[in-house]
């Protein structure tokens, strides 16, 4: 081989070596680091109805690094197994990082049992299932056997209502307790009876208060059966099944004023009241009461004339209105002591008190309670009153008015030049003076549940009810 060829060969081999070196360097720079164990890896985790914690908790891990995984179940669930790049049923496991990995934790809903126990009755569950999931709500209802009554819940429920709502968060056991119970049958003809408390069955030894309410034109006479006495309120102690009757008799007492106007009456407790407002135009001695229709002379104020006067609302001459609402009188007409027929009088403030206290004590409050003054509905008539949605007020459901048969109409009032409140309020004088210029009166309003008691000017024009001596 010539020297030239040898030189070319040496140059070729040198260039080939350089080329191979460059190729090796280039290939080394493009191979991923994971292939030689010096790279980083990701660990993906997923869980439904629970969570997974990583320790250490990092975005990436080095080759060979060990990661501890812990499965945490949500309420009402338990861990079941690992899947993906981990396995087993232990809630804690480890993963060695030698590549990108993905691990899932599976959880299973815990099934809870609701056990109900009852003697002398049964318990109904709704929904009625063998097992329940966490957070389920179950309505339980106690049904007493014949002759028994539900008392209360115990165990994992409490209360005295026959139906209770249970929220499932563990296995639960609930007991419904029952006791011997008795029935109370009541009968009233020409009247009605109210029970307090009003229940279908009563526990042994439980006391029940009975109230007798007469229909219009009747009055309570006495109790019979398993109760006795002539008081319209009585108490029965339940130690067996009982039956009570309220007996009512016709009540037809009437009275006429000197004008010949006829008034019906009602007996409330030991008092006898006129059912209609007074509308006489004369004193009982035959002398005339001054009729004042003027818009300027009616109101005497605190000075001037103290003459007794009367008028009708809005100076009406309509006989139906006059009979229904009666006349309006100033207190000077009352003060004469001569406005009522013989044997009758305008009630004093104390006698209005007697009426009020009797009605409260004998269950005439709109809610049947026997404390505080809620008697307005029992006094008010069932017509003419303006309507309202106020609970317990006269104007809320007029069909529930007038249990006392007092039949109070909203006749309004007069203060001088004007008339007010027909259909809204009623006002009735007492015979009691409050001061030199004021006297006591009672009032009812369609939005209220109580009988109001205040004093005001003796010159006002109010209605009058009469009370038997």
User: 104-133, pLDDT tens digit by residue?
Assistant: 999 999 999 999 999 999 999 999 999 999
Residue position matching structure tokens 């030189």 = 7
- Flag whether pLDDT at 214 surpasses 70: yes
Cβ neighbours, 10 Å, residue 127: 9
pLDDT tens-place string over residues 269-289: 999 999 999 999 999 999 999
Q: pLDDT-based confidence at 208, cuts 50/70/90?
A: very high
pLDDT tens-place string over residues 136-158: 999 999 999 988 989 999 999 99
Asked whether the CA dihedral 392, 398, 404, 407 is positive or negative, the reply is positive
- Flag whether pLDDT at 2 surpasses 80: no
Dihedrals phi, psi of 10, to nearest 5 degrees: -65, -40
Q: How far apart are the first and last CA of the chain?
A: 164
Q: pLDDT-based confidence at 78, cuts 50/70/90?
A: very high
Percent of the chain with pLDDT over 90: 85
- Flag whether pLDDT at 405 surpasses 80: yes
Q: pLDDT-based confidence at 297, cuts 50/70/90?
A: confident
Q: pLDDT-based confidence at 8, cuts 50/70/90?
A: low
Angstrom distance (rounded) from CA 332 to CA 341 = 17
207-214 vs 191-196, strand pairing mode: antiparallel
Angstrom distance (rounded) from CA 90 to CA 69 = 10
Q: pLDDT-based confidence at 394, cuts 50/70/90?
A: very high
pLDDT at residue number 37: 46
Average per-residue pLDDT in the chain?
91
Angstrom distance (rounded) from CA 18 to CA 211 = 121
- Flag whether pLDDT at 165 surpasses 90: yes
447: tokens are 């939005």
DSSP state for residue 111 in the 8-state scheme: P
Give the least confident one: 31-40, 70-79, 274-283.
Answer: 31-40
pLDDT at residue number 6: 64
pLDDT at residue number 30: 35
324: tokens are 């229904």
pLDDT at residue number 33: 36
On whether the CB atoms of residues 452 and 393 are closer than 8 A, the answer is no
Highest mean pLDDT among 215-219, 294-298, 418-422: 418-422
CA-nearest of 406, 430, 383 to 273 is 406
Dihedrals phi, psi of 135, to nearest 5 degrees: 90, -10
Contacts 24+ apart (CB under 8 A), 377-380: 377/401, 377/402, 377/403, 377/449, 378/402, 378/403, 378/404, 378/406, 379/404, 379/406, 379/408, 379/444, 379/451, 380/406, 380/408, 380/410, 380/426, 380/444
- Flag whether pLDDT at 191 surpasses 80: yes
Q: pLDDT-based confidence at 13, cuts 50/70/90?
A: low
Average pLDDT over residues 232-243: 95
């Amino acid at each position: 081989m010539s020297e030239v060829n040898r030189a070319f060969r040496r140059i070729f081999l040198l260039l080939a070596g350089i080329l191979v070196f460059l190729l090796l360097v280039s290939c080394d720079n493009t191979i991923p680091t994971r292939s030689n164990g010096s790279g980083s890896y990701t660990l993906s985790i997923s869980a439904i109805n629970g969570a997974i914690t990583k320790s250490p908790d990092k975005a990436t891990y080095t080759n060979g690094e060990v990661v501890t995984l812990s499965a945490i179940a949500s309420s009402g669930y338990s861990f079941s197994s690992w899947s993906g790049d981990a396995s087993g049923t232990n809630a804690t496991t480890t993963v060695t990082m030698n590549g990108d990995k993905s691990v899932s934790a599976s959880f299973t809903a815990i099934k809870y049992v609701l056990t109900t126990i009852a003697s002398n009755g049964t318990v109904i569950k709704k929904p009625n299932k063998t097992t329940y999931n966490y957070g389920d709500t179950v309505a339980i209802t106690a049904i007493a056997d014949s002759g028994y009554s539900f008392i209360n819940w115990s165990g994992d429920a409490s209360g005295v209502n026959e139906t209770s709502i249970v929220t499932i968060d563990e296995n639960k056991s609930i007991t419904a307790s029952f006791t011997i119970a008795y029935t109370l049958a009541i009968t009233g003809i020409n009247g009605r009876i109210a029970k307090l408390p009003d229940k279908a069955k009563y526990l042994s030894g439980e006391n029940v208060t009975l109230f007798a309410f007469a229909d219009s034109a009747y009055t309570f006479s006495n109790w019979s059966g398993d109760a006795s006495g002539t008081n319209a309120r009585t108490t029965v102690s339940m130690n067996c099944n009982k039956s009570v009757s309220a007996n009512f008799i016709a009540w037809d007492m009437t009275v006429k004023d000197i004008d010949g106007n006829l008034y019906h009456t009602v007996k409330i407790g030991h008092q006898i009241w006129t059912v209609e407002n007074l509308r006489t135009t004369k004193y009982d001695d035959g002398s005339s009461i001054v009729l004042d229709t003027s818009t300027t002379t009616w109101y005497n104020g605190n000075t001037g004339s103290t003459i007794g006067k009367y008028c009708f609302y809005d100076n009406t001459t309509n006989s139906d209105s006059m009979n229904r609402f009666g006349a309006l009188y100033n207190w000077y007409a009352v003060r004469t002591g001569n406005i009522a027929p013989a044997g009758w009088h305008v009630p004093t403030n104390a006698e209005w008190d007697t009426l009020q206290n009797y009605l409260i004590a004998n269950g005439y409050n709109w809610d049947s309670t026997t404390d505080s003054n809620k008697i307005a509905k029992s006094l008010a008539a069932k017509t003419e009153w303006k309507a309202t949605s106020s609970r317990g007020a006269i104007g809320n459901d007029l069909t529930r008015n007038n249990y006392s048969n007092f039949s109070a109409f909203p006749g309004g009032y007069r203060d001088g030049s004007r008339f007010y409140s027909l259909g809204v309020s009623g006002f009735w004088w007492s015979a009691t003076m409050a001061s030199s210029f004021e006297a006591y009166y009672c009032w009812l309003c369609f939005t209220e549940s109580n009988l109001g008691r205040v004093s005001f000017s003796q010159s006002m024009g109010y209605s009058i009810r009469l009370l038997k001596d």
